[in-house]
């Protein structure tokens, strides 16, 4: 499993719009082959929202990025809402624990 993490700095005046964009998203990724889950993290301390998507493989993620669904889900992004550059990383999960 891999985790794709996108850390996004959002201007204060756009935070509500940014969050609403995710809460009302088209959910095209949810149905994409290889997709496992999506998490949107709001900063409590710090300046970056963190978007984490979990995939069964890097190949599945790459197919998503190359897909029409990806283009459609990113077509209405307002670049004015960002206060700087995002930080994008991909990690492989080597261990995971949960207590639910």
Span 56-69, pLDDT tens digits:
999 999 999 999 99
Range of 29's domain? 2-92
pLDDT given at position 27: 84
- Residue-wise pLDDT for 5-25, tens only, equals 999 999 999 999 999 988 887
**45: Cα separation from own chain's centroid:** 19
Number of domains composing the chain: 1
Residue 99 lies in a domain: no
Q: Is residue 10 part of a domain?
A: yes
Q: What is the pTM of this model?
A: 0.88
Query: 22-59: per-residue pLDDT in tens?
Result: 888 778 899 999 999 999 999 999 889 999 999 999 99
* Position 97 in a domain: no
For residue 58, tell me if it sits in a domain: yes
Which of 70, 72, 7, 6 is closest to 35 using CA atoms?
Answer: 70
């Amino acid at each position: 499993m891999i985790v794709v993490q996108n850390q996004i700095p959002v201007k204060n005046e756009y935070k509500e719009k940014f969050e609403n964009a995710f809460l009302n998203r088209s959910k095209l990724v949810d149905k994409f082959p290889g997709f496992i889950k999506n998490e949107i993290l709001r900063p409590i301390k710090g300046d970056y929202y963190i978007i984490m998507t979990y995939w069964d493989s890097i190949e599945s993620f790459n197919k998503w990025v190359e897909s029409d669904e990806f283009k459609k889900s990113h077509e209405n992004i307002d670049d004015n809402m960002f206060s700087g550059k995002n930080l994008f990383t991909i990690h492989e999960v080597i261990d995971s624990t949960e207590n639910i």
